[in-house]
Amino acid sequence: MVPCGYEGTTTFYAGTRFGPRRLLEASSEIELFDLEVGVAPFDIGIVTRPEIELLDRAEDMIALLHAHLIQELLGNRFPLLLGGEHTIAVAGATAAAERFKDLGIVQIDAHADFRDTYHGNKLNHACVGRRLAELAPLTQLGIRSMSRAEHIALKSRQDVTVFPAYSLTADWPRQIVDALPETVYLSVDLDGLDPSILPGVGNPEPGGITWNDLSLFLEVLFSHRRVVGADLCELCPQPGSPVSESVAARIALRICSLYAKYVAAHRRG
């Protein structure tokens, strides 16, 4: 676990800087045995790193995070980056792309985030998808909001596949995973989920992925592909309600459980 509450380019509802701390606090109130997966991931070891120092400039923040994450990968560890705004995903994906050849990236998100620049900045939360696509073939999942310019840009890209939330069919998890390369980096903007189950995000959009659908997709992904790192971003805790951080903590546990069950077990075997 690598917490980083960077929130330098937020444009709507602020508060993601509190996300990592609140997620970790909520994790102490949930059972650490994952009943559905049948695994207690702490059996293989979980380390929570100190929260990363926050820097003002996005470029400096990404460079600092990258230095931390590449060391985790070189140490044969699985980094789960806890945000903070989604911009920090660029650091995780960059480290993974440097460490592993033929990488694919999966971006779960409500927004395409495919602007080349936003407010004059290429490292803005609205540009994350474009930056990820520069690193490796990108699959976007759960999208339901984009500008007309983004829509036109995405139509011309052969290296980006978009699965809008409203287009997902009954067998969508296997359909998506079958098209991915063997090695995958997973980037999760929590607004990809429907706000009825996780309302505390910076830019909520209706019509998102349900808990059961997310669980099924993660199960298929981890059981059929080698997932080498992940980020979990855009948790924006709501005063007076622990729902969002509790759901986010459960997603973090599920990622760790599936890694322990499939990836770490395969490595040992």
Query: What span, in angstroms and rounded, lies between the C-alpha atoms of 217 and 207?
Result: 17
Query: What span, in angstroms and rounded, lies between the C-alpha atoms of 208 and 54?
Result: 30
Amino acid at 72: E
Query: What span, in angstroms and rounded, lies between the C-alpha atoms of 139 and 98?
Result: 19
> How much is the pLDDT for 9?
73
Contact assessment for residue 231 and residue 80, using Cβ atoms and an 8 Å cutoff: yes
**CA neighbor of 231 nearest in space, from 43, 54, 31, 19:** 19
- State what percent of residues in the chain have pLDDT above 90: 91
Tokens of 141: 């999942």
- State what percent of residues in the chain have pLDDT above 70: 97
Q: Is 152 helix (H, G, I), strand (E, B) or coil?
A: helix
Average pLDDT over residues 215-242: 96
Amino acid at 77: R
Residue 164: exposed, middle, or buried by beta-carbon count in 10 A (0-12, 13-18, 19+)? middle
Which pLDDT band, with edges at 50, 70 and 90, does 268 fall under? low
Query: What span, in angstroms and rounded, lies between the C-alpha atoms of 51 and 14?
Result: 19
Query: What span, in angstroms and rounded, lies between the C-alpha atoms of 165 and 141?
Result: 7
Q: What is the pLDDT of residues 122-135, one digit of tens each?
A: 999 999 999 999 99
Indicate the average pLDDT of the chain. Answer: 94
Answer yes or no: CATH 3.30.70.3270 is held by domain 2-268: no
Q: What number of residues does the chain have?
A: 269
Q: Calculate the alpha carbon distances from 186 to 27, 57, 109, 121, 213 in Å.
A: 20, 24, 11, 24, 16
Q: Provide the residue ranges of all domains of the chain, joining segments of one domain with +.
A: 2-268
Given a cut of 90, whether residue 120 has pLDDT beyond it is no
Which pLDDT band, with edges at 50, 70 and 90, does 216 fall under? very high
> How much is the pLDDT for 8?
82
Tokens of 159: 């290296």
